[in-house]
Amino acid sequence: MEGLIENNQTVVQSLYTISQIAAKAKNLDELWQPLFSEVLKIMQVDAGTLMILEGDSLVRKTAHGLGEEIMKEPPIEASRGGVSWKAVKTKQEVVLNDLSQADIASEALKAGHFHSLITVPMMVRSQVIGVISIFTQKERNFSEADLSLFKAIANQAALAIISLESEKLLAINKERMEELAALNQISQSVESLFDFEETLYTILALITRQFKADIGVITLFDHRNKLLKAAPPAINLKQNQISDFRHRYDEGIMGEVFCKGMPKFINVLDKETKEVLSRGGIQGVKSVLVAPLKVKSQSLGVINLFILQERNFSKDDLKLFTILSSQAAVVVNSSIILREISEERKKDEALLASIGEGVLAIDRDEKIILLNASGENITGYLAEEIIGKHIFDGVKFCDSAKKEISLPLVEVLSSGKTMMMDNICIKRRHGDIFPARLSIAPTLDAENKIIGAIIVFSDITKEIEIEKMKQELISISTHELRAPITGIKGYLDMILDGDTGGVNQETKETVEELVLINQRLADLVEDLLNVGRIEQGRIAIRPEPTDLEKLITEIIKELSAQAKKKGLEVKFLPKKLSQVQADPDKTKQIIMNLLSNAIKYTPKGKIEIATEDKGDEIYCHVSDTGFGISPQEQKKLFQKFYRVKNKNTWMITGTGLGLWISQKFLEMMKGKIWLISKEGKGSTFSFSLPKA
Ligand code: ADP
C-alpha cells in the first residue's frame, strides 16, 4: 500500500479508475470483466488471467487474449503447483522471461506461445486472495515502477473484491438463505482474512502522514441519533477525546462535507467547527481537511484531518484525499457489515444456546452445518469437530438394540415432512449410548425451497427412568392390592352365603353394595396391572381358534343383571360364523369392556350386538342408544386414562383404561377397533379379528 502514495500521477489515476469500477459493480460477477480490462489497459498488454483462491484451488474468473477454451479448464489445485501457486505461496510477484521452460498449468497458455509473464498476488493485508497474470508475446521490459504499479492495482482490486464479498454476505444473511453455521463459517473466514481495525488504522495513518496532518479521525453516522461520532482507531487522539468527539450531522465543516458528499478544506475555522473541536477537547487546530466516506452512493461518515498549522491544499491533493478516503470507506463499510452480521449471529447463537434441546442442522448434502451448545453438552462433540462432516460420520444413531441405523433424512429432504422419533439412541463421543427423542424438520429458504434439515433432540434417560419407576410402583402396589381385594371378596361372599350365620335384609343390601365396590376396585387393579404389562411388553398373547359368538353369548349372560337393572334390552343373534384366531381371555376382556361401556353410558333404550363375516376377518359391532360421543372427544377416546367429562358422565365410575387396553390387545391380535357415534343418539363400537 505504501507504493501507491510514493508513485506518480498515473498510479493515482489508475487506482482511482479501479475504485470507480468497483463502486459501480453490483456484484462480483459484474466486477471481473471491467476490472480486468482496466488492469490490462493500464499495463498495456492484451493477454492475462485473473484467478481467485477458493479453498485449495485457484479458480479462473476472467481471461483475455487466450481463446475461449481457457475458461473451460479446471481450477488449478494447490497440489498441481506452477507459477500461479508460487505467487500465492511466496506472496511475491513471479516474473518469467522464457515461458518455454516454465512450469505452466494452463494448456491454453502453453499453446499461446507467449514470451514472458508477470503474476502478482492480490493481497488484502498480508493475505493472498488470488492472482493476476499478464502475458506478452514479444519480449518487453517492465520497469520496477511498472511492477509496483501492477502490484498496487492488484491490491486495489483485492480490496474491491473483499468489499463486494462482504456485501454479498450481508445479503445472504438478510435473506436467511443459508443456515446460520454456514454463515458463521464464511464470516469467520472473512474476519480472519481481514482485521478491519488494523487495516483502518494503517490507512488512516497513511493518509494522516501523507497530508502531514497532526490528527486523523473518522466519524461515522449514527442513524438513530443523527450524529456523527468518532470511531476508533484514531491517530493522535486519546480514548476520552474519541468518545467526546461527536456532533450533529450538519454541524461545522464536517457536517457540510457529510451532507454534500464533497471533500473540503479550511484554514480559517468557523465558529461551529471550533465549537465541535473544543467539545471533543481538541485544541490548537488551524487547518481542517475533511472528505466523505462514501460507498456507492451511501454516506457512512467522514474522515477528518486536523493540522495545527495553517496549510493550503491543491486540487490534486483533494483528489488524492478522495481516493484514499474511498479506500477507507470500503474498509469501514466492510467492518460495519461484518459487525451487523456478527450481531445477527450473536442473537441467533444466544437463541440457539438458550434452547435446552440439542439442535443439529444439516444442508441438502446431509453435511452438518451446526450444533448448538446443548447439542455439544448432550453428545460430547464440539461443533467444530463435526461441522462439515456427513451427518452419519459425525454422529452415530442406533436402535434400542444398539445397532447403528440412519435417520429418514431423504424423506424429510424430499417430501418436506417433519418426522418424530422416540425409539432411538444416540452414541456419545466417548461411546456410551443414550436414549433420545428427536424430530427432523426441513429448513426452507425464502422461496420455500428445502435447503436442509434441523434435527432437534433430547436425552430422555431420566424420563425413561422416571417412567420405569412409576410403572414399578404401580405394578408393586397393584399386586399388593390384589390379595386384600380377593380376601374381602371371599369374606363378603361368605356373609352373603350365610356361612357366618345369616344376615337380615338391610345388612344383605349393604354387603351387596360392598361386593360391587370391591369389584370396581378389583377391575381397577386389573386394568392397572394390564397397563403395566402392556407397556413393559410383558403381556402374553396366545391366539387360538376361538368361537367369538360363543364368547359374546357368555358375556351377555354375565352382564344381563346389570342391563336389566337399568331396564336395557340386550339383543344378539348369532350367525354361526367361522372362528377367529385370537386369545380367548383377551377377546373376552374386549367384549366385556365394550358391552359394559354400552350399559354404563346408555340411560335407556337398547343394546345390540352383531357379527359380520368380512372375508378374512370377522367384525363385531356393539351398538347402543346412549349418550353418544362428540367428534372432538372421539379423537381422544383411545388415549390412556381418557374419560369424557360432562353432565351425563360425571356420576359414572370408570378408569379410562378399558378402551386403551382393548385397542392394545387388538393390535397384538392383528385386529382393529373403531367407532361411529352421534351425540344424543348413541354409539357403535366395532372391532375386527382375523379368521382362524
Ligand atoms: P371407562 O369406561 O372406564 O371410563 P373406557 O376406556 O372404557 O374407560 O372409556 C373411555 C371413555 O369413553 C369413557 O369414560 C366414556 O366417556 C367414553 N365411552 C366409552 N364407551 C362409551 C359408550 N358406549 N357411549 C358413550 N361413551 C362411551
Nearest-atom index, ligand 1, CA of 643: 14
- By C-alpha distance, which of 660, 683, 682 is closest to 673? 660
Of 119-123, 286-290, 415-419, the range with the highest mean pLDDT is 286-290
Nearest-atom index, ligand 1, CA of 602: 24
Q: How far is the CA of 547 from the centre of ligand 1 (A)?
A: 26
pLDDT tens-digit map of 178-233: 333 333 443 343 444 445 676 677 778 878 887 889 999 999 999 888 999 998 88
Average pLDDT over residues 25-34: 81
Q: Is the CB of 656 under 6 A from ligand 1?
A: yes
pLDDT tens-digit map of 530-587: 887 888 788 889 999 999 999 999 999 999 999 999 999 999 999 999 999 999 999 9
Q: Is the CB of 619 under 6 A from ligand 1?
A: no
**61, pLDDT greater than 60:** yes
The C-alpha atoms of residue 630 and residue 234 are separated, in whole angstroms, by 75
Q: How far is the CA of 593 from the centre of ligand 1 (A)?
A: 9
Q: Is the CB of 649 under 6 A from ligand 1?
A: yes
**660, pLDDT greater than 50:** yes
- pLDDT value, residue 146: 82
Residue with the nearest Cα to atom 18 of ligand 1? 597
Q: How far is the CA of 681 from the centre of ligand 1 (A)?
A: 15
Average pLDDT over residues 4-30: 66
Q: Kindly report the number of other CB atoms within 10 A of residue 209's CB atom.
A: 12
For the chain, give the mean pLDDT: 85
Residue reference for cell 468527539: 245
| Residue 246, H or E segment | strand 246-248
Q: How far is the CA of 587 from the centre of ligand 1 (A)?
A: 18
- SS3 of 657-679: CHHHHHHHHHHHCCCEEEEEEEC
- pLDDT value, residue 648: 87
- Determine contact, residues 151/3, Cβ cutoff 8 Å: yes
Confidence of residue 10 (pLDDT cuts 50, 70, 90): low
Nearest-atom index, ligand 1, CA of 642: 10
Confidence of residue 156 (pLDDT cuts 50, 70, 90): confident
The C-alpha atoms of residue 555 and residue 557 are separated, in whole angstroms, by 5
Q: Is the CB of 599 under 6 A from ligand 1?
A: no
Cell numbers of 181, please?
A: 453455521
pLDDT tens-digit map of 325-378: 877 787 777 777 767 766 766 776 677 777 778 999 998 899 998 898 889 999
Confidence of residue 3 (pLDDT cuts 50, 70, 90): very low
- pLDDT value, residue 230: 93
CA angle 67, 71, 77 (to 5 degrees): 130
Residue with the nearest Cα to atom 3 of ligand 1? 654
- pLDDT value, residue 634: 95
- Determine contact, residues 87/131, Cβ cutoff 8 Å: yes
Percent of the chain with pLDDT over 90: 40
Q: Is the CB of 598 under 6 A from ligand 1?
A: yes
- Best substitution site from 562, 641, 643 to test ligand 1's pocket, by max atoms within 8 Å of Cβ? 643
178 vs 484 pLDDT, higher one:
484
Cell numbers of 110, please?
A: 502453453
Of 139-148, 268-277, 447-456, the range with the highest mean pLDDT is 268-277
Q: Is the CB of 531 under 6 A from ligand 1?
A: no
Nearest-atom index, ligand 1, CA of 659: 6
Of 274-278, 324-328, 439-443, the range with the highest mean pLDDT is 274-278
Q: How far is the CA of 642 from the centre of ligand 1 (A)?
A: 8
pLDDT tens-digit map of 589-648: 999 999 999 999 999 999 999 999 999 999 999 999 999 999 999 999 999 888 898 888
Q: How far is the CA of 492 from the centre of ligand 1 (A)?
A: 29
- pLDDT value, residue 581: 97
Q: How far is the CA of 675 from the centre of ligand 1 (A)?
A: 12
Nearest-atom index, ligand 1, CA of 627: 25
- From the centroid of its chain, how far is CA 69? 41
Q: How far is the CA of 524 from the centre of ligand 1 (A)?
A: 14
Q: Is the CB of 443 under 6 A from ligand 1?
A: no
- pLDDT value, residue 2: 32
The C-alpha atoms of residue 210 and residue 325 are separated, in whole angstroms, by 12
**44, pLDDT greater than 90:** no
Nearest-atom index, ligand 1, CA of 626: 24
Amino acid identity, residue 202?
T
| pTM passes above 0.85 | no
Nearest-atom index, ligand 1, CA of 527: 3
Q: Kindly report the number of other CB atoms within 10 A of residue 561's CB atom.
A: 8
Q: Kindly report the number of other CB atoms within 10 A of residue 213's CB atom.
A: 22
Nearest-atom index, ligand 1, CA of 638: 6
Q: Is the CB of 629 under 6 A from ligand 1?
A: yes
pLDDT tens-digit map of 281-334: 999 999 999 999 887 677 889 999 999 999 888 877 787 787 778 777 877 777
Cell numbers of 375, please?
A: 447439542
Q: How far is the CA of 532 from the centre of ligand 1 (A)?
A: 20
Q: Is the CB of 644 under 6 A from ligand 1?
A: yes
Residue reference for cell 470483466: 33
With b meaning 16 or more CB within 10 Å and e meaning fewer, what string describes 238-275? Answer: eeebbebbbbebebbbbbbbbeeeebbbeeebeebbee
- By C-alpha distance, which of 667, 665, 671, 676 is closest to 687? 671
Average pLDDT over residues 422-430: 90
- pLDDT value, residue 500: 79
